[in-house]
Amino acid sequence: MRAWVDIEMDNLLFNLKKVKAKVPNAEIMGVVKADAYSLGSLEIAKELVNNGVTILAVASLDEAMELRNAGITQEILVLGILLDEEIKQAAQNDIQITVGNFKQIEYIEKNNIGIGIHIKIDTGMGRLGFTPEKGEEVVKYCLNKNLHIMGIYSHLSDADEFNDEADRHTREQISKFEKFDKYKDKVKYLHILNSGGILRFNDGYVGNLVRPGICMYGMLGYERVQELKRVFSVKTKVLSIKTAGEDTRISYGRKGIIKKGETYATIGMGYADGLKKTLSHKSYVLIAEEKCPIIGEICMDMCMVKIPNTLKDKISLGDEVVVLRDDIIEDMEIEHRCACDILTGIGKRIYRVYKRNGQPYLINR
Ligand SMILES: *Cc1c(COP(=O)(O)O)cnc(C)c1O
């Protein structure tokens, strides 16, 4: 294998248990959109469902169908907005949908579609859903018309922002959502907490469902969560090792410099694999747990890294290189640092290696 991501399933389950302990009265909706943040939605979904997760969430009908077609029978919610024909197809496949505008309700009524809906309330994310006031009307309307409301939910915009203003906003969002508590007996699920909400705003939670995504992989924002364990390590191999005979310019645009006598390696991962070009000169890789800075522009399939003196005499062709991991993401010197962004960028060429007890039990792409 040229490049792969190790996925530690034991640690995923450890993190899932921690999540449950934070909100003991709530059930879990496992968010496996974007191919489970690139770690493989089918394998991750199976693992979650086998370990007590009540319902799964994805972004689109395609993602939901992928799980259904693979034999997953668990409840599934599409977090995005489906329109017209897609709503019919969702109903035929017992997939629950998000309702964020009245057109969808009209369509469901007109075509007499039996489908589980989750009414989306915009409490301050500014993305999808009804204002809390309008939302109440919609909930009452749907209850009256006997539409099948499975849930009422909202989404937090600032739960992983770590500042007072953001925290104030989060509390305000949660308090707006709490007004829907009165429908608890009429709908199955009330949910607002994402990873940041679960880890930081779980106190007195009125909902009965939470939606963890990135925290299952041990991270929040771009930081590691101390009490959680590492789940993913993206790796490749050393393909070339050179010691510069003179000061040498490196890669496209020749922006990298290796001084005479310094050693550098070329490794088998580039931006087409998810090592974003914006990380050129702004991140490092680990060889034998030693930091090797990325030098020069990252290429499509490869990049160059500087080998520290302490590693010079130990490094060989084929050595394992850790390219993306929780601690490396934490140290990236880029704007808009975001663990989800980096993770979901992991490319199709990367093999997914699922491990238990440190041993691989499944390898696929
Ligand atoms: C992606 C998403 C989540 C999960 O977010 P994390 O921050 O990864 O926990 C939860 N709810 C909605 C609506 C989402 O879009």
210 CA to centre of ligand 1 in angstroms: 10
Instruction: State the amino acid at position 190 in one-letter form.
Output: L
Nearest residue to 200 via CA among 178, 179, 223, 184: 223
8 Å CB contact between 323 and 240? no
* CATH number attached to the domain at 232-337: 2.40.37.10
Q: What is the pLDDT of residue 245?
A: 98
348 pLDDT tier (thresholds 50, 70, 90): very high
294, pLDDT greater than 90: yes
Within the chain, which residue ranges are assigned CATH 2.40.37.10? 232-337
Closest C-alpha residue for ligand 1 atom 4:
213
Is 219 assigned to a binding site?
A: no
Question: Which numbered atom of ligand 1 lies nearest the CA of 220?
Answer: 7
The pLDDT of 339-344, averaged and rounded, is 97
With a 6 A CB cut-off, is 115 part of the ligand 1 pocket? no
The pLDDT of 227-252, averaged and rounded, is 98
Indicate yes or no: pTM above 0.85.
Answer: yes
235 pLDDT tier (thresholds 50, 70, 90): very high
122, pLDDT greater than 90: yes
239 pLDDT tier (thresholds 50, 70, 90): very high
Quote the CA–CA distance of 226 and 207 in Å, as a whole number: 26
Question: Is residue 259 among the annotated active site residues?
Answer: no
Share of the chain above pLDDT 90, in %: 100
The pLDDT of 68-76, averaged and rounded, is 98
334 CA to centre of ligand 1 in angstroms: 23
Q: What is the pLDDT of residue 269?
A: 98
Question: Which numbered atom of ligand 1 lies nearest the CA of 33?
Answer: 1
8 Å CB contact between 338 and 221? yes
Question: Is residue 252 among the annotated active site residues?
Answer: yes
Helix axes 85-92, 61-69, angle to 10 degrees: 20
The pLDDT of 33-58, averaged and rounded, is 98
* Residues β-bridged to residue 355: 8, 360
101 pLDDT tier (thresholds 50, 70, 90): very high
Q: What is the mean pLDDT of the chain?
A: 98
Q: Give first-to-last CA distance, the chain, whole Å.
A: 11
309 pLDDT tier (thresholds 50, 70, 90): very high
126 pLDDT tier (thresholds 50, 70, 90): very high
Other CB atoms within 10 Å distance of the CB of residue 158:
20
> Backbone phi, then psi, for 112, in 5-degree steps?
55, 50
300 pLDDT tier (thresholds 50, 70, 90): very high
240, pLDDT greater than 90: yes
Which among 33, 120, 276, 306 is annotated as catalytic?
33
Q: Write a three-state SS string for the chain.
A: CCEEEEEEHHHHHHHHHHHHHHCCCCEEEEECHHHHHCCCHHHHHHHHHCCCCCEEEECCHHHHHHHHHCCCCCEEEEEEECCCHHHHHHHHCCCEEEECCHHHHHHHHHCCCCCCEEEEECCCCCCCCECHHHHHHHHHHHHHCCCCEEEEEECCCCCCCCCHHHHHHHHHHHHHHHHHHHHCCCCCEEECCCHHHHHHCCCCCCCCEECCCHHHHCEECCEECCCCCCCEEEEEEEEEEEECCCCEEECHHHCEEECCCCEEEEECCCHHHCCCHHHCCCCEEEECCEEEEEECCCCCCCEEEEECHHHCCCCCCCCEEEEEEHHHHHHCCCCCCCHHHHHHCCCCCCEEEEEECCEEEEEEC
Within the chain, which residue ranges are assigned CATH 3.20.20.10? 9-221
Pocket test for ligand 1, best of 58, 155, 162 (most atoms within 8 A of CB): 155
Which among 17, 103, 182, 252 is annotated as catalytic?
252
Is 127 assigned to a binding site?
A: yes
Q: What is the pLDDT of residue 365?
A: 87
Other CB atoms within 10 Å distance of the CB of residue 38:
21
* CATH number attached to the domain at 9-221: 3.20.20.10
Model confidence pLDDT, tens digit, residues 261-277:
999 999 999 999 999 99
The pLDDT of 75-91, averaged and rounded, is 98
114 pLDDT tier (thresholds 50, 70, 90): very high
